[in-house]
């Protein structure tokens, strides 16, 4: 573990100021090394109060600790300080032969894209950007509903750790009080020779504690925490994947339906350049949305976007 990571752990667990002398003595380093580590932490977005003769105190922010996440989940973590996209990091990992499952994690992204290759906002601090690589080797029809399972895992993890209740907008967005706080993108790689899905990459972007959204997003996006977080990003990441891998699929699908924003609501969607309106009546175990149209016809949606007629 790096020096600045050790100092972060000490400060994050302290109730008050910790002097540079104590930090240096406990870690076996010089006061100059302590000061440099503090500067490193501040460069990573942490706010640290420094008072002469009293020392240092962590006011806000946290630090990604891949080793801690690995210990809590048993999953290999690859951390990229300067990632263009964790989805691309995962794809590069597949090419290199990295083990699976594996988690690719970054503090921000310079070329992040969501569904339909849309760009999305990724601030320098306060977010969680990660991609999980799985190696299922299954026919497409036998693949678990990974997007649904991942969405439920995010909702349940937030609820367990913070008692904050979020909802799911079909198929891959997490909402809090009518604003988006997280999105999920699932991609699959198939083998022409075997016809099997060899690899799946589940990407997540979570607004953990983002304090400054662009003006055009302020009415649409929010953070899990608007004030100082009560947990760390490491804890939330670990809880998400522990839920994903350890709770039975059927239970995750059931909770997905319970937390759905669209079920029993009027929705609109576009198909073949035609606008449809109806009531979302069910979500299948494979993630399809069933909509009862105004004329009594049923539509089964496999993907795409729906809009709620009212919030």
Across the chain, mean pLDDT equals 92
Pick the last residue of a domain from 60, 75, 106: 60
pTM of the model: 0.91
Q: Which among 48, 107, 46, 102 has a CA at the least distance from the CA of 234? A: 107
pLDDT tens-digit profile of 158-175?
Answer: 999 999 999 999 999 999
Do 115 and 242 sit in the same domain of this protein? yes
Please tell me the total count of domains within the chain. 3
pLDDT band at 304 (very low <50, low <70, confident <90, very high): confident
| One domain, residues 180 and 231 | yes
Question: What token pair was written down for 280?
Answer: 């979302």
Looking at 60, 82, 106, the residue that finishes a domain is 60
Note the pLDDT of residue 309.
Answer: 61
User: Is the separation of the CB atoms in 224 and 206 below 8 Å?
Assistant: yes
pLDDT band of residue 115 (cuts 50, 70, 90) is: low
Of the CA atoms within 13 Å of residue 132, those in its CB half-sphere come to: 24
pLDDT score at 255: 96
**Which residues define the annotated binding site for biotin?**
109, 180
pLDDT band, very low/low/confident/very high, at 76 (cuts 50, 70, 90): very high
Q: Alpha-carbon distance 124 to 208, whole Å?
A: 12
| Percent of the chain surpassing pLDDT 70 | 96
CA angle 64–81–146, rounded 5-degree value:
70
- In whole angstroms, what is the distance from residue 222 CA to residue 111 CA? 21
On the question of a cis peptide bond just before residue 98, with omega within 30 degrees of 0, the verdict is no
Q: Measured between alpha carbons, how far is 239 from 71 in angstroms, rounded to an integer? A: 12
Q: What pLDDT was estimated at residue 119?
A: 53
- Tell me which residue range forms the domain holding 287: 265-308
15 contacts: CB under 8 Å, gap ≥ 6: none
Q: At 243, which CATH number?
A: 3.30.930.10
Residues 54, 110, single domain; the answer is no
Binding positions = 109, 180
> Residue 49 phi/psi, 5° resolution?
-85, 130
Instruction: Indicate whether 291 pLDDT > 70.
Output: yes
H or E element that contains 146 = helix 146-162
Residues 126 and 23 in one domain: no
At 245-287, the pLDDT tens digits run 999 999 999 999 999 999 999 999 998 889 999 999 999 998 9
């Amino acid at each position: 573990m790096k020096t600045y990571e050790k100092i972060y752990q000490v400060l994050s667990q302290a109730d008050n100021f910790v002097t540079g002398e104590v930090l240096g003595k406990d870690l076996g380093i010089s006061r100059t090394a302590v000061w440099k580590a503090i500067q490193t932490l501040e460069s990573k977005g942490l706010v640290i109060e420094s008072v002469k003769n009293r020392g240092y105190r962590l006011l806000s922010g946290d630090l990604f600790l891949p080793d801690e996440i690995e210990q809590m989940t048993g999953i290999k973590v690859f951390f990229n300080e300067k990632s263009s996209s964790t989805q691309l990091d995962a794809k590069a990992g597949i090419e290199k032969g990295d083990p699976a499952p594996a988690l690719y994690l970054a503090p921000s992204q310079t070329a992040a894209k969501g569904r339909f290759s849309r760009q999305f906002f990724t601030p320098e601090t306060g977010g969680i950007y990660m991609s999980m690589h799985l190696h299922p080797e299954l026919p497409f029809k036998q693949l678990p509903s990974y997007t649904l399972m991942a969405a439920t895992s995010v909702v349940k993890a937030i609820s367990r750790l913070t008692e904050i209740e979020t909802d799911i907008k079909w198929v891959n967005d997490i909402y809090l009080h009518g604003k988006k706080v997280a999105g999920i993108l699932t991609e699959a790689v198939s083998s022409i020779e075997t016809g099997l899905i060899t690899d799946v990459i589940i990407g997540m972007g979570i607004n953990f504690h983002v304090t400054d959204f662009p003006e055009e997003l302020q009415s649409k996006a929010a953070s899990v925490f608007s004030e100082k977080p009560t947990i760390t990003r490491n804890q939330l990441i670990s809880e998400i994947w522990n839920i994903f891998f350890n709770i039975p699929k059927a239970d995750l699908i059931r909770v997905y339906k319970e937390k759905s924003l669209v079920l029993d609501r009027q929705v609109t969607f576009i198909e073949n350049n035609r606008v449809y309106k109806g009531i979302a009546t069910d979500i299948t175990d494979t993630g399809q949305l069933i909509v009862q149209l105004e004329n009594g016809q049923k539509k089964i949606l496999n993907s795409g976007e729906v809009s709620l007629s009212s919030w």
